[in-house]
Amino acid sequence: MKNPTLVKRYAEGLAAALASPAEYEAVYGQLAVFDGLVESRDDLRAALLRPFLNVSRKTHLLKSLLEAMQAEGKTIRFLDLLLRHGRLEILPGVLECLPAVWRAGRGTPTFEVCSVVALSAAQRAGLEAELERLEKRAVHCDYGLDPALVGGLTVRKGNRIFDVSLKGQLDRLKDTISER
């Protein structure tokens, strides 16, 4: 992801501008459709992302695309903002970051859980219940797989990582041995 701090700032700004879950869903969906369209068409990507092309031509092309999509006002304004500041290339990163930022703004923290194998529904429910007990509020978990962990799992919330994997234990043991 290019410049994660910048991506997060734009995602936070967009999330703050969205008033309701319905509006969030609509804008997020329209941005995802637009991003998919740009990624699937080399000519569009070239026209919108090349820095030496005239900004007014890019703006005209953007407005034409958004009209055809019947995009809402906040979607149009956000994409126009990215275009005018020469930052349209960060849209995929904003789309990746936006759900967690949206939930955090509504008081629901997001945890990233990585394990070697997919967790069962019962394991997920147990983990989420324990995290909710610790956080004293509802939480959201994004699950992923990481074969490098060997066994166990890692749970990440923002900059904090809780590592209960076999790989993490071996790394800590290695550090302890090398310190002596």
Q: How confident is the model at residue 125 (pLDDT cuts 50, 70, 90)?
A: very high
How far, in Å, CA of 129 to CA of 110, rounded? 14
* CB contact at 8 A, 157 and 110: yes
pLDDT surpassing 60 at residue 20: yes
Segments making up each domain of the chain, as ranges:
4-103, 109-179
Q: How confident is the model at residue 13 (pLDDT cuts 50, 70, 90)?
A: very high
The residue type found at 175 is: D
How far, in Å, CA of 100 to CA of 61, rounded? 31
State residue 1's pLDDT score.
Answer: 57
Q: Which residues, 6 or more positions from 138, have their beta carbon under 8 angstroms from its beta carbon?
A: 107, 108, 132
The pTM assigned to this predicted structure is 0.74
CATH number (3.40.50, 1.10.520, 2.60.40, 1.10.150) of 4-103 reads: 1.10.520
Cα distances (Å, whole numbers) of residue 25 to 33, 72, 76, 84, 104: 12, 12, 15, 24, 16
Q: How confident is the model at residue 46 (pLDDT cuts 50, 70, 90)?
A: confident
Minimum mean pLDDT range among 110-114, 115-119, 120-124, 158-162: 158-162
